[in-house]
Amino acid sequence: MIDLKELLDDRSATPAGLVQHQRLQQVRGRITTRRRRRITAGGAFAAVLALVLTGYALTPAQRAAPDPATTPSAPTLAGFPEYAQGSRVVAAARSRPGEQVNVAWTPTTLDIALFTDCATGQADAVLAHEIKVNGHLLTSGTCGVSGLHWPHGDRMWAEKGVEIGKPAVFTMTALRVRRTVTTTDGESRTEDGPVPAGAVLGLAVGTRLPFTEYPLPARPDRLPALGDLRNGGEAADMPGEASQWMLSHPNLPLLSMSRNITWRGQYDLRLQAQTPGLLHVLIDGVEVYTGEWWTYEANEAGTWWSTDDSAAWAAIPGFTMPEDGDIVTVTVVPEHFTGTWQLRIVPLGGGATL
């Protein structure tokens, strides 16, 4: 007789040498990845939605039943609004269906922003693309993530032959169409396919403006409330996290604040503000990131860093890489705000212990 219970117990005996002590850390890593995907997907969706809405607002002539022209439309260039996200669009073009798009421009500054806008002709699909400048790959991604810019990009532009006063050509090419599919068990995944023949690409080059020169929208009578800065959809900390929060002084929104953190692992920063303004994030006195708000919509901004990504840190002028385990000071310097702002620092990965 074979005892099934005994057989299963015997066969499932854990083999000697099977590593199990890393499971907790690996699970935490998976949770982090899942949350980052949600953030990315949410951000991309928001960007696409914003572009769709912007395009709808700016192209009344193409709608079947246009609204009465009670308000003059904002100026546009090839369908891109002249002013967006702290930049002024100076050159833009749209492709014919199925073709790539080229934008020629002679730089007057190297503080450059790029905007993209695409149409696939297919529902729930976006275009994966790449952008080259002077034949050098500049960036790739999913079309609709607008407002790309490179705060410390001088050396990068030089490597790609982009100089002030020298004509440059930006080229955008569609690589494939991508759609998100939800499976029957609620998981989602992306599927790639060939570029549709009717796909249209839009690319705009903008120059970054000083805050005081950017035309801000009118201040609303009532400012929107700040949210709870969800990280990957979660308001609470994950296992091993111990978020640090900074909230602007109730009466002095331009007051700087500091927190000490341990230089180890990865960190997520989530930021939000009620009014236009800039949040400069400094590590030991060197600016590493700037959160920007150009509207009164209380949008969230965010960034993340890995403390062992030496190449990324080396690109920041004046920044000296701390040693693993060092205590560093994160300082937030607000600028131009007339309302509340908040910041959440979330430690991820090896920087936290359970």
Using rule CB under 8 A, residue 30 touches another protein: yes
Q: Which x/- pattern over 315-354 shows residues binding another protein (rule: CB under 8 A)? A: ---------------------------------------x
Candidate list 117, 241, 268, 292; residue touching another protein; CB under 8 A: 241
Residues near 20 by beta carbon (within 8 Å), at least 6 away in sequence: 14
Candidate list 82, 130, 237, 287; residue touching another protein; CB under 8 A: 237
Using rule CB under 8 A, residue 218 touches another protein: no
Single-letter amino acid, residue 168: A
Using rule CB under 8 A, residue 41 touches another protein: no
As given in the structure block, the two tokens for residue 119 are: 């149409």
* 315 class by beta-carbon count within 10 Å (0-12 exposed, 13-18 middle, 19+ buried): middle
Which CB atom, from 6 or from 309, has the smaller least distance to another protein?
Answer: 6
How far apart CA 288 and CA 280 sit, in angstroms, is 8
CB atoms within 10 A of CB 71: 8
Which CB atom, from 244 or from 303, has the smaller least distance to another protein?
Answer: 244
Cα–Cα distances in Å, from 108 out to 89, 162, 317? 13, 11, 22
CB of 26 to another protein, least distance (A): 6
Using rule CB under 8 A, residue 71 touches another protein: no
CB of 222 to another protein, least distance (A): 32
Window 121 to 180, contacts with another protein (CB under 8 A): none
Residue appearing with tokens 């989602």 = 188
Q: Which of 28-36, 103-111, 165-173, 255-263 is the region at the interface with another protein (rule: CB under 8 A)?
A: 28-36
Single-letter amino acid, residue 188: S
Using rule CB under 8 A, residue 238 touches another protein: yes
How far apart CA 279 and CA 248 sit, in angstroms, is 11
User: In this structure, what are the phi and psi dihedrals at residue 56, rounded to the nearest 5 degrees?
Assistant: -65, -45
Which CB atom, from 258 or from 353, has the smaller least distance to another protein?
Answer: 353
Using rule CB under 8 A, residue 24 touches another protein: yes
CB of 307 to another protein, least distance (A): 22
Residue 101 in contact with residue 95, Cβ under 8 Å?
A: yes
Using rule CB under 8 A, residue 96 touches another protein: no
Candidate list 227, 239, 285, 325; residue touching another protein; CB under 8 A: 239
CB of 241 to another protein, least distance (A): 7
CB of 8 to another protein, least distance (A): 4
Single-letter amino acid, residue 167: P
How far apart CA 292 and CA 302 sit, in angstroms, is 10
Number of residues that bind another protein (CB under 8 A): 35
Cα–Cα distances in Å, from 242 out to 165, 238, 353? 49, 8, 10
Q: Which of 39-47, 235-243, 272-280, 295-303 is the region at the interface with another protein (rule: CB under 8 A)?
A: 235-243
How far apart CA 30 and CA 37 sit, in angstroms, is 11
DSSP-derived secondary structure letter, 234: B
The three-class DSSP label of residue 224 is: coil
Q: Which of 331, 241, 239 is nearest to 285 (CA)?
A: 331
Using rule CB under 8 A, residue 17 touches another protein: no
Q: Which of 342, 229, 340, 230 is nearest to 275 (CA)?
A: 340
How far apart CA 19 and CA 111 sit, in angstroms, is 50
CB of 14 to another protein, least distance (A): 7
Candidate list 11, 63, 96, 222; residue touching another protein; CB under 8 A: 11
Window 172 to 191, contacts with another protein (CB under 8 A): 183-185, 187, 189
Residues that bind another protein (CB under 8 A): 1-5, 7-15, 18, 20, 23-24, 26-27, 30-31, 34, 183-185, 187, 189, 236-241, 354
